[in-house]
């Protein structure tokens, strides 16, 4: 099985150039926080830990530890933001390549609906509402999101926007005949995260 990307170590590596004199101070603290947070996830199913252990908690541990030692949370946030934008840009290129296969874009709405239900369903800690799932459009609202709830519980709800922005980067330009129409996210203060992918007639 392919091992998940070690986000915490990647972020710590990036921080060396920005905070070279304080690296040793927050590096240990970030790892300690991450291990502490992961204790609560020990017996949870992989559908949940693929989000918590692999994505959410590494970012929170990095954000809190580095912000504490540097006193510069805005810069720390920017490190995480740029990291995810770059990662999601790579995902975007892969999706563009797939959608470039003749007529493949026509299957995108139904495929997105399947992916959302499989990886962002109730077993993964999300709650959703289906509005429209057809060959022409996928419209699903996420009304409960662990990215938002966990970041909020740790006192850093602003981190949720990093993940929201990642969706826009990944899905926003898949094909000229596909329209990504996100208008709301929990992380930006709305009542849901709307996933809307529509085929342009």
Contact by Cβ (8 Å): 116, 196: no
Please report which residue ranges of the chain form alpha helices under DSSP H. Answer: 7-18, 23-38, 46-51, 57-70, 73-99, 108-119, 146-153, 160-171
Q: Report if residue 184 sits inside a domain.
A: yes
Q: Report if residue 173 sits inside a domain.
A: yes
Domain that holds residue 158: 7-199
Q: Report if residue 141 sits inside a domain.
A: yes
pTM: 0.92
Structure tokens that stand for 188 in this block: 């930006």
In sequence order, the β-bridge partners of residue 199 are: 178
Q: What is the pLDDT of residue 2?
A: 38
Q: Report if residue 23 sits inside a domain.
A: yes
Geometric angle at alpha carbon 184, from 181 and 187, rounded to 5°: 130
Q: Report if residue 1 sits inside a domain.
A: no
Alpha-carbon distances, residue 18 vs 30, 52, 86, 140 (angstroms) = 16, 26, 18, 39
Q: Report if residue 2 sits inside a domain.
A: no
130 vs 113: CA distance, rounded Å: 9
pLDDT confidence of 174, banded at 50, 70, 90? very high
100 vs 55: CA distance, rounded Å: 29
CATH code of residue 20:
3.30.1380
Q: Is the pLDDT of residue 1 over 80?
A: no
Helix 73-99 × helix 160-171 angle, to 10°: 20
Q: Is the pLDDT of residue 161 over 50?
A: yes
Q: Is 131 helix (H, G, I), strand (E, B) or coil?
A: strand
Q: Report if residue 187 sits inside a domain.
A: yes
Mean pLDDT of 2-9: 72
In sequence order, the β-bridge partners of residue 138 are: 133, 197
11-48 pLDDT, tens digit per residue, is 999 998 899 877 778 999 999 999 999 999 999 999 99
Q: What is the pLDDT of residue 5?
A: 65
Q: Average model confidence (pLDDT) for the chain?
A: 93
Please report which residue ranges of 39-72 form alpha helices under DSSP H. Answer: 46-51, 57-70
Mean pLDDT of 189-196: 94
Q: Report if residue 168 sits inside a domain.
A: yes
Domain count of the chain?
1
37 vs 154: CA distance, rounded Å: 10
């Amino acid at each position: 099985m392919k091992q998940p990307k070690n986000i915490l170590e990647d972020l710590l590596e990036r921080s060396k150039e920005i905070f070279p004199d304080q690296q040793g101070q927050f590096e240990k603290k970030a790892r300690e926080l991450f291990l502490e947070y992961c204790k609560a996830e020990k017996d949870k199913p992989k559908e949940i830990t693929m989000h918590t252990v692999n994505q959410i908690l590494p970012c929170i541990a990095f954000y809190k530890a580095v912000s504490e030692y540097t006193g510069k949370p805005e810069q720390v946030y920017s490190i995480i933001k740029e990291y995810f934008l770059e990662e999601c840009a790579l995902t975007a290129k892969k999706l563009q390549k797939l959608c470039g296969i003749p007529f493949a874009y026509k299957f995108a709405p139904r495929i997105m609906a399947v992916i959302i239900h499989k990886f962002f369903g109730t077993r993964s800690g999300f709650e959703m509402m289906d509005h429209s799932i057809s060959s022409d459009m996928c419209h699903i609202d996420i009304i409960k999101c662990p990215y938002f709830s966990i970041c909020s519980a740790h006192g850093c709800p602003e981190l949720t926007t990093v993940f929201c922005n990642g969706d826009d980067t990944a899905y926003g330009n898949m094909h000229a005949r596909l329209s990504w129409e996100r208008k709301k996210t929990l992380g930006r203060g709305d009542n849901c995260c709307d996933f809307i992918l529509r085929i342009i007639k």
